[in-house]
Amino acid sequence: MTLFQHVSQHHTPELAALITAIADGAVTIERKIRTAGLGDVLGAAGSENVQGEAQQKLDVLANDTLIEVMKALPAVAAVVSEEDDEPILFADRPAAKFIAIFDPLDGSSNIDVNVNVGTIVSIQEVKPGLTVQEAILQPGSEQVAALYVNYGPSTILVYTAGDGVHGFTLSEGEFLLSSENMKMPQQGPYYSMNEANVDESDKVYSDAIAGLRDGTLVDGKKHGSRYVGSFIADFHRTLLKGGVFLYPPTKKVPHGKLRLLYEANPLSFIAEQAGGAAINGHERILAIVPTQPHVRTPLIIGSQAEVAAIGGLIAASPRE
Ligand code: FDP
């Protein structure tokens, strides 16, 4: 079954068209990534995004591709990209109801070394009574849909629109259903964190990692370590195998590194729909009301058992 057939069977024509259009954009991005070493698309673009991060040429290309695709859809009221300073509002479409919020190429510092990168999209709706600006800043629990594309050995698209999590594999330009109703294991074998940061974070995080390693934190289960450093790759493994991914606050990034709207919200929606959980240490990610589009958050996401155990440790620890 194709992605188009799946979304058309389960969702409104407008939402089906939106998800399919994003997938078409991902196919264009995928073609550029697959042959990146042969053209002039590797390396830095020489610019910085609003967060002060060096933009890669492929970041810019992926961003332009998705914006073009969204512009062509009359149901889209606004586009909010991690790469752009301000949301792009389509003011000439008062009846348009969707807002596409995206990180066009997550993990882009990995492109030059041929490690997985991804596209992440969150869809919010302009509900009656809300302005577009207000709709952009709704909590993640209000998302209509969320999806990511993992450009890895296979290109996999995973989406939820609130009725389970479904995976599709790209084959000859078409996304074909490969895993319906994906479930994250309730407990898993791995923790995933940039451990170089462990001394830069509150002690509770080093205690959590030590407890995962020696088996004292979750049911005597000793966890192994996996960290790609590309969130989509680390999340996709966590979705399939279980365990936990953490990016805590550090001295360098006291509010966390990952972005709430572009990364944490969509993947938390997918995690919860698959039976997993996601918190910022103190509260559910999907309950956080964003103050501005580029806001960051600490993130602990993965299997119920690991997320609950780390959340419990944080709740019991004195605030530093
Ligand atoms: P990148 O800087 O390559 O874009 O949010 C960005 C991100 O990658 C995530 O994909 C990844 O999980 C994280 O940063 C890696 O951060 P560290 O290098 O600090 O571990």
Ligand 1 mutation pick, 230, 245, 294, max ligand atoms within 8 A of CB: 230
Q: Which residues pair with 278 in a beta bridge?
A: 301
Tokens of 179: 């895993």
pLDDT 10s digits, 174-198: 999 999 999 999 999 999 999 999 9
pLDDT 10s digits, 123-153: 999 999 999 999 999 999 999 999 999 999 9
Instruction: Indicate the pLDDT class of residue 59, thresholds 50, 70 and 90.
Output: confident
Nearest protein CA to atom 15 of ligand 1, as residue:
229
In the reported structure, the alpha carbon of residue 260 is separated from the centroid of ligand 1 by a whole-number distance in angstroms of: 14
Residue-averaged pLDDT of the chain: 94
Write b or e for each residue in 79-91: b if 16 or more Cβ atoms lie within 10 A of its Cβ, otherwise e.
Answer: bbbbbbeebebbe
Ligand 1 mutation pick, 49, 58, 106, max ligand atoms within 8 A of CB: 106
DSSP 262: I
pLDDT exceeds 80 at position 43:
no
In the reported structure, the alpha carbon of residue 16 is separated from the centroid of ligand 1 by a whole-number distance in angstroms of: 30
Say if strands 258-259 and 243-247 run parallel, antiparallel, or are unpaired. unpaired
The amino acid occupying position 83 is E
